[in-house]
Amino acid sequence: MLLIAWIKLHPFLAFILVALLAGWWLGLPVNLLMVSIKTGIGGLMGDLLLTIGLGAMLGKLIAETGAAQQIAQSLIQLFGEKHLQWAMMLTGFVVGIPLFYNVGFILLVPLVFSITYNSKLPIVYTAIPMLAALSVTHGFLPPHPSPLAISAQLNANTGTVLLYGLLIAIPTVIIAGPLFATTLKKMEAKPLSIFEPKQIATELLPGKFNSFFSALLPAILMIVFALFQFNEVSTGTMLKFWSDPSIVLLLSLTFATISLGIANKYSVKSIMQFFSDAIQEIAPILLIIAGAGALKQVLTDSGISKQIAQSIEHIAIHPLILGWLIAAIIRVCIGSATVAALTAAGIMAPVLLSIPFNPNLMVLAIGAGSLMFSHINDSGFWMFKSYFNLSIKDTLKSWSVMETIVSIIGLLGVLALNSLL
């Protein structure tokens, strides 16, 4: 936290340096230290590289071919101007499942500007429901990098995490989105002209069903396979193969490449360029996750993880609340939701070995904590402030409060679900 927040080191470098120092300080033999770091990086990347890479490609394809724009326009037509907030919330939710947060933000915020210019509704009031939905999908739902990485560290089932995450996400988005936004009707914002929307002509957009189905196919397949496993219909080798997130995303990407790309006369070369751009966008995220894997492995191999677990066992606090609290503290201190989630997961992983607990719910608790109170050390805070041309005070009153509501309601949802299981 100190290296990232004070010295401004890149999180990947901070993780690697701390892993080296921690291994040396905790007595890990020097000849095993680099082996431990490489094992940690390789183990976590082996679980996640395919999934995150394929997910990024799918999201980029949905954005570039106009499928996301079609989804937004269709929902706005369905709900009408009177219920525009709910249309924007559903747009953020549907588009947010396959799209990484920053891509979804950059893609959809100009669309909000276009809509509000025509409807003359308050722009922050209109935008918050969509951004709340994007934030929830980023923190709670696979195939986003953070919940995927936490699931890998805690040995959770990705499909079950998605299923539980959807149950928690729906009330969370409603409260943090349309309901909270009613308090922001009088907040004035004058977006910069540089962010005026540039949209694809309607006649060039893919069809409505095609757009929705292509965007939601990964979630549909993951939920179907999770239900099969949950109901113990089959636990055979073939089911495990087809339900693997990498296979699900490969199938979804193949379908979308044909239905959104080739069928709409995009050349294979241009589609491959979309994919190349997507990989460049997620490279920093992959490095951060790799660094977190290195630190986790050093803590495990040195034996300190067991000591952490034993000390935490005696703290009079619910494990889910503890996981949420650790992630929330790190998030507030350093700003990065991904770093907060991965670090908290590394600390809580040994706890789950000694305290029998549902790892799927722990993934969601940590994910909720990682979204707590975004402020001036978070890039998302400055993106919102810059795009909407707000003061820091108004950004705190809108964006930061929205993120805090998402975090707290998310935790309450996890605790409620835990009491029912």
pLDDT at 181: 95
First to last CA, the chain: 35
Each residue's pLDDT tens digit, 96-130: 887 777 767 876 777 777 677 666 788 999 999 99
Backbone angles phi, psi at 217, to 5 degrees: -55, -45
Each residue's pLDDT expressed in tens, for the chain with a length of 421 residues: 778 778 888 888 988 999 999 899 988 888 889 999 999 888 878 867 888 788 888 888 988 898 888 888 888 888 887 788 899 999 889 888 877 777 678 767 777 776 776 667 889 999 999 999 999 999 999 878 889 889 988 989 988 999 999 999 999 999 999 999 999 999 988 775 555 545 678 888 999 999 989 988 887 887 787 777 655 545 567 777 887 888 888 999 999 999 999 999 999 999 999 999 888 878 887 888 788 788 878 877 887 766 665 666 567 788 899 999 999 988 887 777 888 898 889 888 877 777 778 999 999 999 999 999 998 778 788 888 877 889 889 999 999 999 999 999 999 999 999 999 8
Residues making up the chain, counted from first to last: 421
For the chain, the domains span 2-302
Helix (H, G, I), strand (E, B) or coil at 6: coil
Cα distance between residue 315 and residue 296, in whole Å: 22
Cβ neighbours of residue 206 under 8 Å, at least 6 residues apart?
A: 65, 66, 67, 70, 214, 259, 260, 263, 264
Cβ neighbours of residue 109 under 8 Å, at least 6 residues apart?
A: 127, 195, 387
pLDDT at 140: 94
Structure tokens that stand for 173 in this block: 């988005």
Q: Evaluate whether 344 touches 369 at the Cβ level (below 8 Å).
A: yes
Helix (H, G, I), strand (E, B) or coil at 80: coil
Q: Evaluate whether 137 touches 95 at the Cβ level (below 8 Å).
A: no
Enter the pTM of the model: 0.76
C-alpha distances (whole Å) from 227 to each of 161, 249, 268, 280, 290 are 12, 18, 35, 34, 31
